[in-house]
Homo-oligomer: A and B are copies of this chain.
C-alpha cells in the first residue's frame, strides 16, 4: 500500500497543482491520495473522474486533520517519508526506505505546499530531499516514486479503463472501450 498525503491545499490558489500531485501519484504507482488543507470537493471529483476513465484502482480522500491521520497510519504500520528540500538526499536514503517497505509493505509519502509545520519533520521517519534546490512538489514526488519503484511504475497496468493509448512515434492513437 503506497499512499501520498498532500498537505495544505488552498482552494483558490492550488487547484491545478494539487490536481497534478494527485494525477502524478496515480500514474506513477501510488494506490491513493489523501488531501489536507481546505476542503475541495471539485478536486476530489476531478481526480476520481480521471481514475474512472483511465482505470484504477485509485483511492481519493480528504482529511481535515493530517496529524491525526498520520498517527493512525503510523499505528497501522506505515513508514512515513516527508519530501522536503531540507531533508537528506533521496539517492542516499532510498535503499533504506525500500528495505523498510519490504518488511511493512505500507508507505505514505508526504508533500507540502508553501510552509510545512515543524511537527511534520518530527512525525516523519525520513525527511528526504530531491536536490536541496527549490522546485516543485510534483517533480519531487515524481522522482521519488521513480527511484523508489525503480522504473517498474512506468509499465503499471490499470484495470477497467474506458480509454487506452497505444504509443506512437508521431501523432495520437486512443482506443475507447464501450
The chain A residues found within 8 Å of chain B, CB to CB, are 13-14, 16-17, 20-21, 23-24, 26-28, 50, 54, 85-91, 118, 121-122, 124, 127, 129-136, 138-143, 146-147, 151, 153-156, 158, 164-174
With contact pairs A91-B151, A121-B170 given, residues A135 and B86 touching in the complex (Cβ less than 8 Å): no
Contact at A138–B142, with CB atoms within 8 Å? yes
Secondary structure call for the A interface: mixed
Contact at A171–B26, with CB atoms within 8 Å? no
- Which residues does chain B contribute within 8 Å of A147, judged by CB atoms? 146
CA distance A169 to B146 in the complex (A): 22
- Which residues does chain B contribute within 8 Å of A91, judged by CB atoms? 151, 154-155
Q: State the 6 A-B residue pairs at the shortest beta-carbon distance, nearest first.
A: A139-B142, A20-B136, A132-B165, A27-B133, A27-B135, A24-B139
With contact pairs A146-B143, A154-B90 given, residues A170 and B127 touching in the complex (Cβ less than 8 Å): yes
- Which residues does chain B contribute within 8 Å of A130, judged by CB atoms? 154
- Copies of this chain per assembly: 2
CA distance A169 to B140 in the complex (A): 17
User: Which listed residue (B50, B135, B143) contacts A20, Cβ 8 A?
Assistant: B135
Chain B residue with minimal CB distance to A126?
Answer: B169
Chain B residue with minimal CB distance to A140?
Answer: B142
Contact at A133–B88, with CB atoms within 8 Å? no
- Which residues does chain B contribute within 8 Å of A172, judged by CB atoms? 86
Q: List 13 A-B contacts (CB under 8 A).
A: A20-B135, A20-B138, A26-B133, A27-B139, A28-B139, A85-B165, A87-B168, A88-B168, A90-B154, A91-B151, A121-B170, A129-B167, A140-B142
CA distance A97 to B142 in the complex (A): 21
